Copies of this chain bind each other. A is one copy, B any other.
Amino acid sequence: MTTQRLDRTVLDRCRQLSTSTLSDALDKRGLPGAVEGLHPLIPEACIAGQAFTLAYLPVGASGGTVGDFIDDPGPGDVVVIDNRGRTDCTVWGNIMTEVAKRNGVEGTVVDGVNRDLQESLSLDYPIWSRQGHMRTGKDRVMLQAVNVPVCLGTVRVEPGDVICADGNGVVVIPLAYIYEVLAVAEDIEHKEEAILQDVRSGMTLGEARGRHGYHVLQTPDPA
């Protein structure tokens, strides 16, 4: 993969922020990135990593396999599987969970369904997907390409883009914007913390929000 690798400290900064705050920063910069409809298997999980992308297509008359890509991603990677939202067959299960966990992969995001939730829970390996199911994707879908642009719902993901996910769901931050989005997000986080401090010391929320410009925190700056 020729994608730029981010320093661990950048991913650590992402992990300090909720997907809410990161989504607000994307809004502030006029960028898409909030994925709809993918839910956490482990609501407490919070991950940040770079997208290792997989594009699946329905199998055709000539067949094809689900692939053996899972030996490749490692620490700092999030496996992103685009199965086009299909809920009738799975593209992730227990063996992949065990290998990914052993190899230090941050987590897996599936636009589709996954199986063997119990193994993921018992290994504390985080997954975001539409729902659980049990039927295999073998002989139903095939791995079309690795590390190509894919989609999560209506959100485009390029290989290497930053994937952050928590109890709220999944956001995608384009790699070229990561430092800018992080800076804006940290600024929003500080202002929201200041609002909370004011509220905790007895101010009404209306006063505290007014003092810190809450209602335009995510509003794009005028051009």
Contact = CB atoms under 8 A, between A and B. Distances in A.
A134 B168 contact: yes
A191 to B, nearest CB: 11
A60 interface: no
B205 A95 contact: yes
A222 interface: no
Interface in A87-106: 87-88, 90, 93-96, 98-99, 102
A6 interface: no
Interface stretch (A64-72, A74-82, A144-152, A174-182): A64-72
- The oligomer's copy count stands at 3
Contacts of A209: 68
A136 B168 contact: no
A173 interface: no
Contacts of A135: 23, 27, 34
Contacts of A117: 43, 167-168
B205 A70 contact: yes
A170 to B, nearest CB: 8
Interface of A: 18-20, 22-24, 27, 34, 36-37, 39, 43-44, 65-66, 68, 70-71, 87-88, 90, 93-96, 98-99, 102, 115-118, 121, 131-136, 138-139, 166-169, 171, 192, 195-196, 199-200, 204-206, 209, 215, 217-219
19 contacts: A18-B116, A20-B134, A24-B136, A27-B135, A39-B131, A39-B132, A70-B205, A95-B195, A95-B205, A102-B199, A115-B168, A118-B166, A118-B167, A133-B169, A134-B169, A136-B218, A138-B217, A138-B218, A139-B218
